[in-house]
Structure 1
Amino acid sequence: MTTRKNPLVKPFVKWAGGKRQLLPEINQYLPKTIKRYFEPFVGGGAVFLNMQFPNTTINDFNGELTNAYAVVKDNVDELITILMQHQNSNSSEYYYQVRSWDRDGQLSQKTNIERAARFIYLNKTGFNGLFRVNSQGQINVPYGRYKNPAIVNEEVLRAVSVYLNKSNVKIYNGDYEDALKQCKPGDFVYLDPPYAPISDDKQSFVGYTLNGFGSNEQERLKTIFDDLSAKGVNVMLSNSSVPLIHELYKDYMDTTVIVKAKRNINSNGNGREKVDEVLIMNYKI
């Protein structure tokens, strides 16, 4: 499948575990034909925004994130106006005031556009671009103290809006399995779940939703991988190269490749080094 790509169509939020650096490998191992494209753990969207396929469905469990995609698609002008207001008011004090909306009841009174602008603003100005919530579902990322954070990236927001509309991208918020029920033979699914930890370090998982993704969830995902394979759906999965994943997907050893990715592997921001990850396919490569 060939599409004419707009280089301005790219992520408008920072996201832990983003796949931008793995795009060359992901592109290299795409199936030869793709009827429809599904990405049920979309996150920051580096993959689907790079591919720019028509007939695309995205999903994420994070409702603030999927609301932001929907608002970029349907209300980009109003979104940019509010983001500019956030940019003009940006300070540490203002950041914590806006962050507190999910603590003092204000968030439930805001429009979807206001919520999306808050989400993007906090993402661009919070420490390390993290999205992390506590056990009450409240964002708890501290202020990042950047000199000139790119709060309003108007060109990118408008380009993404055009693509989402032109390709009629479907946006879902819920369990990944529900987003995959409509898959048919010849469709292509890219799975990028929360990774299996490479160590016992608690920093291995970023708590960006309240639903944990432990070994039971990895096993459930493998079952869905097998079910999609049986239906004739082409699937590619990213994960960490650890014994749990290799054991789960041992039946796909011939179509598994190991790739190198630069990741934060501990709580120290300087702890970025290349680690092994896997791309597992259910089709010949």
Structure 2
Amino acid sequence: MISQISPVIHPRPFLKWAGGKSRLIQQYIPYFPANYQTYYEPFIGGGAVFFYLQPSAAILTDINAELITTYRCVRDRVEDLICLLQEHQNRHNRDYYYSVRANIAKTELEQAARLIYLNKTCYNGLYRVNSQGKFNVPLGRYNNPHICQENLLRAASKTLANVEIAQADFIDVLSSAPNSNDFVFCDPPYHPISSTSYFTSYSQNSFHAKDQERLRNVCAELASRGVKVMICNSDCELIRNLYEEINFKIYPIIAARSINSNPKNRGMVYELLITSY
């Protein structure tokens, strides 16, 4: 009898996320620093860059409490999480989706399973909440959504095993005291380039021009300490001006945009990759 060998699953994002970087990493590779000690990512989102780099030491943070809970459960209780996701997968239909969406999970493990389930079945994998902080994305059109990707979750769990994960505002990266041997990658909510591309409802607190300026100031402070800083954002006058003022290097990146209320504005667009080095 010939034994079947399970395919090797390389670590990669276990969540779909608006603005995810999986398709852009090949363009980013020439700009990643060759050497660094600790990797910081204060807007973890789907974590594509983290999973690609697989740094030996990392601190991952985000203001989104549900997202951070989910990362911790993947790191610490992946088998229990898989069991809950299998239940969601077995019960999935339209009515079940809206029932799960309407009800808040009680335990952290249930919260993590709920977020992954909604993420895999909602429209475009979009994370959006209303002013009360309630998830409000409609059901997506999927014939057979991959709700419980066991091997992918286990691979992610191994990669996250020794990683520090915390809920925090991006400005808190300064208090972590990164030094010149460290690398900080920032993937904030992008500044809108048109009224139809405006998407800042990532958490209950929207991300506006003043927040982009706050982020620039944080990046400038990090750079003054010798920290290697990389930021990605939309290609627009505001972002260019903010980082040109502090003499950061700006590189155009070609990206595919799939989320826009106006279908004519979807497709290939330029984004910016910005570095302090």
Q: TM-score, normalised by structure 2?
A: 0.93
Q: Decide which of 252, 256, 263 is 2:250's aligned counterpart.
A: 256
Q: Tell me by how many angstroms 1:180 deviates.
A: 3.7
The offset of 1:265, in angstroms, is: 5.9
Kept in 1: contact 2:84–2:113 (CA 8 A): yes
- Percent identical across equivalent pairs? 46
Q: Report the Cα distance in structure 1 between the residues aligned to 2:184 and 2:96, rounded to whole angstroms.
A: 40
Aligned equivalent of 2:111, options 109, 115, 123:
115
Equivalents in 2 of 1:138, 1:42: separation in Å? 20
The alpha-carbon deviation at position 179 of structure 1 amounts to 3.1
**Mapping 1:24-103, distance limit 5 Å:** 24-102=26-104
Amino acid at match of 2:261: S
Contact 2:248 2:274 in 1 (8 A): no
Greater CA deviation, 112-121 or 256-265?
256-265
Is the Cα contact below 8 Å between 2:81 and 2:112 reproduced in 1?
yes
Per the alignment, residue 172 of structure 1 pairs with: 166
178-187 vs 88-97, which deviates more?
178-187
Does 2:267 align with 1:273?
A: yes
Q: TM-score, normalised by structure 1?
A: 0.90
C-alpha distance in 1 between matches for 2:41 and 2:185: 5
Contact 2:200 2:207 in 1 (8 A): no
1:91, 1:224 → 2: CA distance? Answer: 44
Does the 8 Å contact 1:252/1:281 carry over to 2? no
Task: Summarize the alignment of residues 105-184 of structure 1 with structure 2, pairs less than 5 Å apart.
Answer: 107=105, 110-165=106-161, 168-182=162-176, 183-184=178-179
For the aligned residue pairs, the C-alpha RMSD in angstroms reads 1.5
Q: What is the SS of the residue equivalent to 1:78?
A: helix
**Letter of the aligned partner of 2:102 in structure 1?**
S
- Distance in 1 of aligned mates of 2:20 and 2:71: 16
Aligned residues: 269
Which digits, 9 at most, give the CA deviation of each residue in 1:106-136, with x for residues without a partner?
x3xx111111001100110111111111110
Match of 2:3 in 1: none
Q: Deviations over 1:122-176 (max 9, x none)?
A: 11011111111111000101111310000010010001111111xx111011201
In the alignment, structure 1 segments of 5+ residues that lack a partner are 1-5
**Tell me, which stretches of 5 or more residues in structure 2 are unaligned?**
1-7
Residue 8 in 1 paired to residue 10 in 2? yes
Q: Rate the CA distance shift 1:82–1:256 in 2: closer, same or farther, 3 A.
A: same
